[in-house]
């Protein structure tokens, strides 16, 4: 098709999504299900307009998936109001580290003994499918003011953290396949890919978000400068946090997430003799008092503006990526293993990993069951799939890897898309005292 036709088609899709957005919220469907169906409709299964091959086009697909993940991770970081050192972070860390390792080990065992995959390929499959998705979990994401809701917070925190914690396990699988240097005895993997990547990413993101947030607030409240262009600030923080971390071999995903957390917590420094603005403007007005430059309100105004822009980007990224997943479904070859592997993943592996990861945490069993079911797979898995394909996975293993990943992600979008609204409605009606 010509460029004009592509632009016309893209515009019609965006307008159609806007027009039916309210209708979707009234149906037991998620937006991702609609996007997936649209992608299938445009694929060779339908009109043949969009033909994506994850093996042949892994390089550009990796860039697109990476950008979508970074936007979402930053947005999730801005939404989470719980202080970074608060004890409520224990549950997300348990899920992102302990449950992650259990999940990768279980999938690797299934791959080796159930499918006959070699060890490296089995570990790689586990690393690809283990992370839950922060982009597609909007129905269960923690929202501003929901920091007291431990289940929403745990799912949101896990989804953001494990996109970074899964990366060393993906590299381990590639290393066993001799596609990545693990070092003698695995020392490089332990020191660089695990310890430094994780700790360095967290520290660099926190430092970058805190410093940039403090700088902007100082300039706005003391000098009434650096005003507006919050879109530039949002994209700039993402780019600086990711680029700086990646340049130092740290996790860019964790860096961007922690930059969002730190930017959210940038403190106001009220000027002496000033008072907070009233919630409702008085009859005499406060036209001269702009919250964006007021020393009591600059931080909140900055965060709201950056988050508002980033949420719009996140919606567009979700639409584009899930449509791409639908368009890639014709690449699914053999479904011999999918019919039993997918139910085993959702009904056994994920719940068992949550129970083991949360053992002794004092979390009610029904909450653990809900967390176990709501481990949505999506764009994170697609990113790691195309990353692996773009880094040397041979044609012998690539088709099986593509089939298992795309099949699992598509099944997750459908199964979780149908059940998430009824489950969350039930959950909100049965709060824990």
Which residues touch 11 (CB under 8 Å, ≥6 apart)?
A: none
Using alpha carbons, select from 324, 410, 419, 426 the residue that is nearest to residue 58. 324
- Does residue 420 carry a pLDDT above 90? no
Which residues touch 151 (CB under 8 Å, ≥6 apart)?
A: 140, 367, 370, 371, 427
Please state which of the ranges 278-282, 297-301, 328-332, 361-365 shows the lowest mean pLDDT. 278-282
pLDDT at 91: 92
Split at pLDDT 50, 70, 90, the class of 390 is very high
Please state which of the ranges 83-87, 268-272, 324-328 shows the lowest mean pLDDT. 268-272
Which residues touch 311 (CB under 8 Å, ≥6 apart)?
A: 75
DSSP assignment letter at 96: I
319 is a domain residue: yes
Using CA atoms, how far apart are residues 107 and 212, in angstroms rounded to an integer?
41
99 is a domain residue: yes
282 is a domain residue: no
pTM value? Answer: 0.92
- Calculate the alpha carbon distances from 237 to 41, 80, 240, 335 in Å: 36, 17, 5, 42
- CB-based contact 377:307 (threshold 8 Å): no
Using alpha carbons, select from 423, 428, 407, 414 the residue that is nearest to residue 125. 407
- Does residue 280 carry a pLDDT above 60? no
- CB-based contact 417:30 (threshold 8 Å): yes
280 is a domain residue: no
CA contacts within 13 A on the Cβ side of 320: 17
Split at pLDDT 50, 70, 90, the class of 136 is low
Split at pLDDT 50, 70, 90, the class of 286 is very low
361 is a domain residue: yes
Total domain count, the chain: 1
24 is a domain residue: no
418 is a domain residue: yes
CATH number where 127 lies: 1.20.1530.20
pLDDT at 282: 45
- Calculate the alpha carbon distances from 232 to 218, 238, 241, 408 in Å: 17, 10, 14, 36
207 is a domain residue: yes
- What is the residue range of 307's domain? 29-271+289-429
Which residues touch 8 (CB under 8 Å, ≥6 apart)?
A: none
């Amino acid at each position: 098709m010509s460029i004009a036709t592509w632009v016309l088609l893209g515009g019609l899709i965006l307008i159609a999504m806007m027009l039916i957005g309210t209708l979707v919220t009234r149906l037991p469907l998620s937006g991702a299900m609609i996007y997936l169906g649209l992608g299938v409709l445009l694929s060779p299964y339908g009109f043949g307009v969009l033909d994506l091959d994850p093996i042949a086009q892994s390089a550009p697909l990796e860039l697109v998936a990476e950008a979508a993940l970074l936007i979402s991770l930053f947005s999730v970081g801005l939404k989470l109001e719980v202080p970074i050192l608060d004890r409520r972070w224990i549950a997300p860390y348990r899920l992102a580290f302990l449950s992650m390792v259990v999940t990768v080990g279980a999938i690797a065992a299934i791959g080796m003994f159930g499918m006959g995959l070699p060890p490296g390929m089995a570990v790689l499959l586990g690393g690809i499918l283990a992370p839950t998705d922060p982009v597609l979990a909007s129905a269960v994401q923690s929202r501003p003011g929901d920091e007291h809701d431990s289940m929403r917070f745990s799912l949101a925190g896990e989804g953001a953290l494990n996109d970074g914690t899964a990366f060393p396990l993906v590299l381990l699988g590639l290393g066993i396949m001799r596609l990545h240097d693990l070092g003698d005895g695995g020392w490089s993997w332990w020191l660089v890919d695990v310890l430094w990547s994780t700790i360095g990413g967290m520290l660099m993101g926190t430092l970058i978000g805190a410093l940039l947030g403090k700088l902007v607030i100082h300039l706005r409240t003391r000098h009434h400068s650096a005003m507006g262009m919050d879109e530039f600030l949002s994209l700039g923080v993402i780019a600086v946090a990711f680029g700086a971390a990646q340049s130092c071999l740290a996790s860019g995903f964790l860096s961007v997430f922690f930059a969002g957390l730190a930017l959210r917590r940038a403190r106001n420094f009220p000027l002496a003799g000033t008072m907070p603005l009233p919630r409702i403007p008085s009859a005499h007005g406060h036209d001269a008092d702009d919250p964006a430059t007021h020393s009591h309100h600059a931080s909140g105004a900055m965060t709201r503006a950056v988050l508002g822009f980033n949420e719009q980007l996140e919606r567009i990224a979700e639409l584009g990526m899930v449509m791409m997943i639908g368009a890639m479904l014709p690449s699914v070859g053999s479904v011999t293993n999918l019919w039993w592997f997918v139910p085993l993943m959702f009904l056994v592996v994920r719940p068992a990993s949550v129970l083991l990861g949360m053992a002794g945490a004092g979390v009610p069993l029904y909450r653990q069951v809900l967390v176990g079911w709501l481990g949505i797979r999506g764009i994170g898995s697609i990113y790691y799939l195309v990353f692996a394909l773009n880094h040397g996975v041979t044609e012998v293993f690539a088709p099986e890897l593509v089939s298992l990943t795309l099949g699992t992600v598509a099944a997750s979008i459908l199964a979780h898309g149908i059940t998430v609204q009824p489950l969350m409605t039930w959950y909100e009606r049965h709060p824990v005292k």
